[in-house]
């Protein structure tokens, strides 16, 4: 899954980076995250270099926020101005990670509720879902859709069945967007219009051309510039989701562990 929804748990506080220890349980092994989150070594490398040049100054939370913007920009999307000064959480919540992250099996009403609970409108939910124009997802999260659902292009379903066998390959990875998997563009929405959404929750955004969010999906499928601008604006809002500032939290020395 894409890392952008890290923010939907405790906020932009880098809680997702914390490893489990003998007396601490983090979020990495929650149902949505286990064997799905990747790229921690990139954050580690950035943090180690910053600790050499300016120790104890730049938080892991700020690194994550900047990395999200820079990665989107590097892949062809629009960067946003990331406000800095976040501090790192000294807590994490496995239960909230299991319950609050929007599951790939949700219907539209469930998606709307999940994002509304974090202060986002239905329109913003559709915009943020466009993060799936990049990233990959495990077979276990889309198997039921490609074998049992009917609102899916038959040739696409057959192709995905080759990548995700009916009774094996749970951890096989496939791109959300097979057209341009490493480019931040509007192909994700074009796929939805053509009934080629890979996970159930994605295709819920476009049902039959007359659903609650269908018009926005259609608009983005035709207007890449509008999508990129809206995504940048909404990610700026998400990056400000309940950050820790002032004396709250800490500046971790190692992003994986709370300072002793």
Binding residue ranges: 11, 13, 15, 27, 102, 132-133, 177, 180, 185
d(CA 194, CA 199): 14
Binding residues for heme b: 132
**Contact present, 96 and 9 (Cβ < 8 Å):** yes
Strand ranges inside the chain, DSSP E: 136-138, 173-175
**Contact present, 134 and 183 (Cβ < 8 Å):** yes
- 24 DSSP β-pair partners: 21
- 174 DSSP β-pair partners: 137
Q: What DSSP element (H or E) covers 137?
A: strand 136-138
d(CA 135, CA 137): 7
Rg (Cα) of the chain, in Å, rounded?
18
Binding residues for Ca(2+): 11, 13, 15, 27, 133, 177, 180, 185
Binding residues for substrate: 102
Please provide the size of the chain in residues.
Answer: 260
d(CA 230, CA 72): 13
């Amino acid at each position: 899954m894409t890392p952008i929804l890290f923010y939907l748990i405790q906020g932009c506080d880098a809680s997702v980076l914390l490893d489990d220890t003998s007396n601490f349980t983090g979020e990495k092994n929650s149902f949505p995250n286990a064997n799905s989150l990747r790229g921690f070594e990139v954050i580690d490398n950035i943090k180690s270099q910053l600790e050499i040049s300016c120790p104890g100054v730049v938080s892991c939370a700020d690194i994550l926020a900047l990395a999200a913007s820079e990665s989107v920009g590097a892949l062809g999307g629009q960067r946003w101005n990331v406000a800095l000064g976040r501090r790192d959480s000294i807590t994490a919540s496995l239960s909230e990670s299991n319950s609050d992250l929007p599951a790939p099996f949700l219907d539209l009403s469930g998606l709307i509720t999940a994002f509304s609970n974090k202060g986002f409108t239905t329109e913003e939910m559709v915009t943020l879902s466009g993060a799936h124009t990049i990233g990959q997802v495990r077979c276990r999260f889309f198997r039921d859709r490609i074998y049992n659902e009917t609102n899916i292009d038959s040739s696409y379903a057959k192709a995905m069945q080759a990548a995700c066998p009916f009774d094996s390959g749970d951890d096989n990875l496939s791109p959300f967007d097979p057209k341009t998997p490493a480019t931040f563009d509007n192909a994700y929405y074009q796929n939805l219009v053509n009934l080629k959404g890979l996970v159930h929750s994605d295709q819920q955004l476009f049902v039959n051309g007359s659903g609650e969010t269908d018009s926005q999906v259609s608009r983005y499928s035709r207007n890449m510039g509008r999508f990129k601008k809206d995504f940048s604006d909404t990610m700026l809002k998400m990056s400000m989701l309940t950050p820790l500032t002032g004396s709250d939290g800490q500046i971790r020395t190692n992003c994986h562990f709370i300072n002793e």
